[in-house]
Structure 1
């Protein structure tokens, strides 16, 4: 159990070695989905120790091509709508009225095109999720896409996903699907390995009129985090307690991604939370506690 930031930092160097091993293992692991190969014990232990795992080439071939094409079509189709924003934070790309940094975002992609819903049923993806979550009862919370445009894609300050939707058992994970190669130069993901063991951290986000939540950027600077160097089709699965963020896109190429947030079907929100289209949608297994009474039939 990590009890302080120094211990977390000490583990970062070891995690880099394990990370390289994980990349080698997973690049071999996921061949055609029909092979039905599962994560190894070493990979599952890596996830438990570090709070994330990088799976190389999980989405591939025609499926990756079609998702990529429909992703571009969706953003082109919605170009006239308000999809651009930024993230209020304490770094050099925080939102101001004249900020040049931006990100395009669309939530709940499965409501816009069937291909995104079909992607959620990818057997290799669900197998990996089942292995790291320890349950076959996998429930969708929401999906979203963040497109960082070339040369002005906004960074996302280091944060946990926990404050946005806290759950009783902390079973919530994210499946971060790369549609482009990602590096620190074009807005790639950064993580603090092992930080999920710190539990929920103090919220340093803007307090008034804001829905943004961040950890202390001085304790968790992006410069001290581990970059995730990814290729198109790679998936990173991580706990919603993992401290993570992303750099600004200063490159000449876009960084496209989509993400699914998922939980054990037996887990429940801590208090109420706003409705999410698709929340509770079962991707695998069964929800034994789902209310089926007539009075509650219209609730999400």
Structure 2
């Protein structure tokens, strides 16, 4: 990443990298979404405020599967290290399915709004959103409030079956910040800060909006667990040509 890209991330709270993954790599990921055991075995649904379902599969450990190979590939891990300004640890991976005509919305929230309650001391954490399909306004692409990571952590509570940021505060800051629809080509990746406010509308289009999201924590950012501080180990760096691995 260039100095200009790092400065843009620090200013905006996110950085879009176009075509980070090839069509061959995308095809492999989509095959695993549609027929792989890891996604199917951990899938659950979350209703938005209108009752539509967003489906999600999440795991917290690296293994020998394809999703782990993607999570540790150099173009992700090294980019995250640069943006964090320190070494990075794998936190979790998740596949999100916002299917045609039925995919639910996600309310305005910060990832650190969840992760603070899980005991993480600092918001020095990053998510990388990889578009497996084209993400457009019509199929419910991510929406972000540019620069909102500088607000600090907002209070979060229940919004339908989801956890969302304080609605009154959102109403106050929306007029102050630029709303950006993060439309993305398949294979593009959005790196974003854990305090960046983001949401997405329901998918009422004819096209799926599937994604793989990898979340990383700074190794210097401990998690409070039962009165003790847990430090995460540095994420291994795997093969650039991961698609060739079994």
TM interval, shorter chain, is 0.7 to 0.9
Specify whether residues 221 and 197 from structure 1 end up closer, same or farther in structure 2 by C-alpha distance, changes over 3 A only: closer
Q: Which structure 2 residues correspond to residues 26-45 of structure 1 after superposition, within 5 A?
A: 39-45=1-7
Q: Which residue of 2 aligns with 1:139?
A: 89
* Alignment match of 2:66 (pick from 115, 121, 124): 115
1:105 and 2:56 are equivalent in the alignment: yes
Question: 1:119 & 1:234 partners in 2: Cα distance?
Answer: 14
Alpha-carbon distance in structure 2 between the residues aligned to 1:266 and 1:77: 30
SS of the residue 1:253 aligns to:
coil
Q: How far off is 1:82 after superposition? A: 6.1
- Of 126, 131, 140 in structure 1, the residue corresponding to residue 77 of structure 2 is 126
Query: Which residue, 224, 234, 252 being the options, matches 2:206?
Result: 252
Normalising by structure 2, we get a TM-score of 0.82
Offset, 1:170: 1.7
- The superposition leaves residues 17-62 of structure 1 with CA deviations (integer Å, 9 ceiling, x where unpaired) of xxxxxxxxxxxxxxxxxxxxxx111110000001000010112143
C-alpha distance in 2 between matches for 1:109 and 1:231: 27
2:196 aligned with 1:242, yes or no? yes
Other structure's SS at 2:143 match: strand
Work out the CA distance in 2 between the residues paired with 1:280 and 1:74. 28
Whether contact under 8 Å (1:191, 1:242) holds in the other structure is: yes
Question: Structure 2: how far apart are the matches of 1:75 and 1:86?
Answer: 24
Are the aligned partners of 1:58 and 1:125 in contact in 2 as well (CA < 8 Å)? no
Counterpart in the other structure of 2:98: 148
Residue number among 132, 137, 148 corresponding to 1:195 in the alignment: 148
* Equivalent in the alignment of 2:47: 86
Q: Highest relative contact order (Cα 8 Å, sep 6+), 1 or 2?
A: 2
CA contact (8 A) 1:74 1:112 kept: no
Larger radius of gyration: 1
Residue of 14, 19, 22 corresponding to 1:60: 22
Report the count of equivalent residues.
227
SS of the residue corresponding to residue 191 of structure 2 reads strand
Among 230, 235, 245, the alignment partner of 1:283 is 235
- Which deviates further from its counterpart, 160-169 or 227-236? 160-169
Q: Deviations over 1:268-289 (max 9, x none)?
A: 12x438xxxxx9463248xxxx
Higher deviation after alignment, 225-234 or 124-133: 124-133
Between 1:112-121 and 1:188-197, the stretch displaced more is 112-121
Q: Secondary structure at the match of 1:283?
A: coil
CA distance in 2, matches of 1:175, 1:110: 16
Query: TM-score, normalized by length of structure 1?
Result: 0.68
Give, in whole Å, the separation in 1 of the partners of 2:43 and 2:74. Answer: 34
**What is aligned with 1:34?**
none
Following TM superposition, the consecutive aligned residue runs of length 4 or more in structure 1 with deviations greater than 4 angstroms are 109-113, 220-224
**1:77 & 1:175 partners in 2: Cα distance?**
18
8 Å contact kept, 2:222–2:232: no
Shift of 1:110: 6.3
